A and B are shown apart, each in its own frame.
Chain A
Amino acid sequence: MLELHLTAPERESPASGPEAGETGLYDLIVLGGGPAGLTAAIYAGRARLKTLVLTGYLPGGQPANTDVVENFPAFPDGVAGPELARLFLQQARRFGARLETDEAVRVDFSTRPFAIHTHKATYQGRTVIVATGVVPRRLGVPGEDRFFGRGVSSCATCDGFFYRDRDVVVVGGGDSALAEGIFLTRFARQVTIVHRRDELRATKIYQERAFANPKIRFLLSTVVEEILGDQTVNGVRVRNVKTGESRIVETDGVFIYVGMEPRTELFVGQLELNEQGYVVSDRRQRTNVPGVFVAGDVQDPLYRQIVVAAGSGAIAAMEAEKFLGEYPDVSNQPGSKAL
């Protein structure tokens, strides 16, 4: 059998405003379609809340980009990331959530119902769950932007194929860098892992696997200073932070796994964010705005696990349901706010 992924075809995009009933008002709008957002949708659906999920351009979230997930509980043999993503999406739909591969570009949490503006439409929600997740951090070095897509990437599962029998550099020292480095050895001739510290951050199981792989070598205490190339990448200039020595490492590709940044630009000035830009929440997933909840990696700089994100999504949905029970009336009549 051929490996085939089927995500449900998209429904018609709204001409203006959502289709949910006459008032165009949702009980819950979930921003983000990763494990947190989709678990929230599952729980909201079970509670019969009229729910809209704006999944953005990667429905399923980070798992969709992950080769294999070994530690999401209930899968004793592990599960392919995209398959897990598909299961989450299917379940959310089954419980009645409306999913749109659309993304918020502006939000207004100043009054209820909350307004969510996307490229295509404006939606209104009596409650909102922010579950926008994180994005890969960039190195911020010369050449990175120029060569992005032409030798620089943050997605080994997407782009690994193009480096068959070539040499690649993976920047980073955590589990992602090592796991993706190991993945790349399926294609690449050699994988060089470059990390700025002198010891790797990754958990033991990944370090053991990486050290055992003959195609992987390590450059520790090393940072990338510049990505070089002509039409495409042909090398990186690196510097040893201990000796100060710089040199050029020839490579055909650079994969960057140096951590993640929370996607919270939209909420600056509306939601309380911590120093690193993560949304501040309490144990009940509440933000500083009553009726706006948060779940998943966007409020979790520490754990960043699929099951932890899913758990927080379930809590957020149940809190939203409770909130609606206590505060059913919205302060404005829908439609009377200027959109």
Chain B
Amino acid sequence: MFQISLGAKRYDVIVIGGGPAGATAALYAARAGLATLVIDKGLTAGALGTTGNIVNYPGVPGPISGAELVRRIREQAASFGAEFVNDRALRAELAGPDKKIWGGQGVYTGRAVIIATGALGRTQHIPGEERLLGRGVSYCATCDGAFFRERQVAVAGNNDEAAEEALTLTRFASTVHFLSPTPVLQASPHLAGELRSHPRVVFYPAARLREIIGTERVEMVRFTSEGKEQTIPVEGVFIYLQGNLPITDFLEGQLPTSEGGCLLVDEHFQTAIPGVFAAGDVLCRHLKQAVIAAAEGAQAAMAVDRYLHGREKLRPDWSK
């Protein structure tokens, strides 16, 4: 279902984030005939990815896992022609008629953007993380992995994204020390299996990263794993931990946010920049529920349709 998209094409709309908001937006946009691309980190990268038993999504008696619910919405979007790329947004240029999103695997261009990145972001609070960013601390293995050929690196995280990035690093690094905050990985079984059995990976369960140590560059990491504190020498630290803040770092301040870091939109889900919309948990408008996020995604997509076609009134897309 997922096609690798290398960004040569100019899309009508790029959706950043493929959770219920983003996938529903993609469903509506694709069905309206818009060339749609979804940039997404993977089924378990978002809030629903780790939710087990959903029974209150209307129309789906369940229990259904969050990942399966999102998978179905994505399949539906893909059936109308939406394309998906497994990547993450690192940078964006949003002003003007052509919006550009830089990912780890390429640059994507679109006439409109819907930001549906959710709220699993974190503040940088590990001592040393901010200071050593770019000097051993990174959030992107595909970008920076090559700098660590035959070196030791650490990866902190526990989902599909972290696992995939760690596996990418095994192509370069001599050893990948995988620090999972949970005892068991919350990634898809085949990824978890591949990771755990890789000869270059050392797995530390229930590991909490305490400090990143180094003067000019990263030299060591200090962490506890299953209660025991350890310090190991590494030259790179790749961080994929999750928090509970709206993910807007890739915007680099181009859009105003509330005090809580939430994106601000008008009643049609448009941000301060024309052609840039947002939906879902990244808006922190309501309690986090899949159906609410989906509803916002649908509305944002319909607003994008209007924006792109310059129509005065929204055209409701009735299935009736």
Contacts and interface: CB of A to CB of B under 8 A. Distances in A.
A72 B59 contact: yes
Nearest to A284: B286
Interface residues of B, number: 42
Interface string B306-320: 000000001111111
A81 B59 CA distance: 11
A62 interface: yes
Given A76-B75, A302-B314, A95 B56 contact: yes
Nearest to B313: A302
A100 interface: no
Interface string B157-199: 0000000000000000000000000000000000000000000
A297 to B, nearest CB: 10
B298 A307 contact: yes
A67 B73 CA distance: 20
B24 interface: yes
Interface in B52-84: 56-61, 69, 72-73, 75-76, 79
B60 A74 contact: yes
Contacts of B314: 302-303
A91 interface: yes
A73 interface: yes
Nearest to B20: A73
A304 interface: yes
A311 B295 contact: yes
Contacts, number: 143
A305 B30 CA distance: 16
Contacts of B299: 303, 308
Interface in A285-328: 302-308, 310-315, 318
Contact of B33 (A72, A75, A204, A318): A204
A176 B318 contact: yes
Contacts of B287: 318
A91 B69 CA distance: 16
B76 A306 contact: no
A170 B318 CA distance: 16
A46 B298 contact: no
Interface in A48-95: 62, 65-77, 79, 81, 84, 87-88, 90-91, 94-95
B294 interface: yes
B73 A73 contact: yes
Nearest to B64: A74
B135 to A, nearest CB: 43
A205 B302 CA distance: 14
A233 interface: no
A278 interface: no
A68 B58 contact: no
A203 interface: yes
A146 B289 CA distance: 47
Interface string A172-215: 00111001100000000000000000000111110000000000
Contacts of B235: none
B295 A62 contact: no
B238 interface: no
Given A311-B294, A311-B295, A315-B292, A303 B316 contact: yes
Given A174-B316, A307-B291, A311-B296, 5 more contacts: A71-B319, A73-B73, A75-B59, A313-B58, A315-B292
27 contacts: A66-B319, A69-B319, A71-B298, A73-B73, A73-B76, A73-B297, A74-B59, A74-B69, A76-B72, A76-B73, A77-B79, A81-B320, A91-B58, A91-B61, A175-B315, A202-B315, A203-B31, A203-B305, A204-B32, A204-B33, A305-B295, A306-B319, A307-B295, A308-B295, A310-B291, A311-B294, A311-B296
Interface of B: 20, 23-24, 27-28, 31-33, 56-61, 69, 72-73, 75-76, 79, 267, 285-287, 289, 291-292, 294-299, 302, 305, 314-320
Query: Top 10 closest A-B pairs, CB basis?
Result: A311-B295, A175-B318, A76-B75, A204-B33, A76-B76, A73-B73, A39-B58, A66-B320, A304-B316, A73-B24
